[in-house]
Structure 1
């Protein structure tokens, strides 16, 4: 089966969490999460060696959005119920 035909929810909600695919406009909140976690991310993730700009993060988020739609990548953003991002899953 062609992966583009897979039905994958774009948002999953629980009582306390929201998991959603990256979308245009998410760059600012993702960038804030990266900046808040930079010390913890640096040893593990190549992209965290330098602090990205909001524009760089927005571009990355839009690429992730396109890959999700094409089923080439299934990155999810995890938010608290307060809509503050807490994790990035690649």
Structure 2
């Protein structure tokens, strides 16, 4: 197995409508605006996005962007910001996280700012990142984890041809103290 630090992973991807790139210095203001607009929706499923639990500042968003760039370089996870090509607006974030290089497998995660939800951006980003994971990272498996009640994320999983492998009952605790069920979806690398 090659050391992940030696993998020449591209820092930018493009789809029909999206520029998907690694966070960088200076992304904080755009990230802060997108997160602030979307806090009520993002906080519905905090077990997936614990970083949105606390109030956010422009400085927090800048730190998050710079930390994301460092994580990418260290290959601890591969975060990306999603930008609409036609306007340059930051639409959200996506990434490949909890990578286990020894297997190799990873998990795809994503969010889209509230004003742009429902337009297929999450699906477009997830499909691009799944291809990236298989072709660039050479993983054998990509997981997508969603709260059972998060129907929007579950629809993205299904539209991106992930297979539901199981539901982990009472797997996570919500901020209100209730126990939540977790859906585990996966795709495996196509045979050559």
The higher radius of gyration belongs to: 2
The equivalent of 2:58 in structure 1 is 54
Q: Is this contact kept in 2: 1:38–1:51, CA < 8 A? A: no
Stretches of structure 1 that go unaligned for 5 or more consecutive residues are none
* Structure 1 position 49, deviation (Å): 2.2
* Alpha-carbon distance in 2 for matches of 1:71, 1:9: 12
* Structure 1 position 50, deviation (Å): 2.8
Stretches of structure 2 that go unaligned for 5 or more consecutive residues are 96-192
State the superposition RMSD in angstroms.
1.2
TM-score scaled to structure 2, two decimals?
0.45
Question: In the comparison of the two structures, how many residue pairs are matched?
Answer: 90
Please point out which of 77, 81, 84 is paired with 2:81.
77
1:17-50 CA-to-partner distances (Å, cap 9, x unmatched) read: 1000010111111111101111100122222223
What's the secondary structure of 1:42's corresponding residue?
helix
1:56-77 CA-to-partner distances (Å, cap 9, x unmatched) read: 1111110110110111110111
Would you identify which runs of 4 or more consecutive aligned residues in structure 1 move more than 4 Å? none
Higher strand share: 2
The equivalent of 2:39 in structure 1 is 38
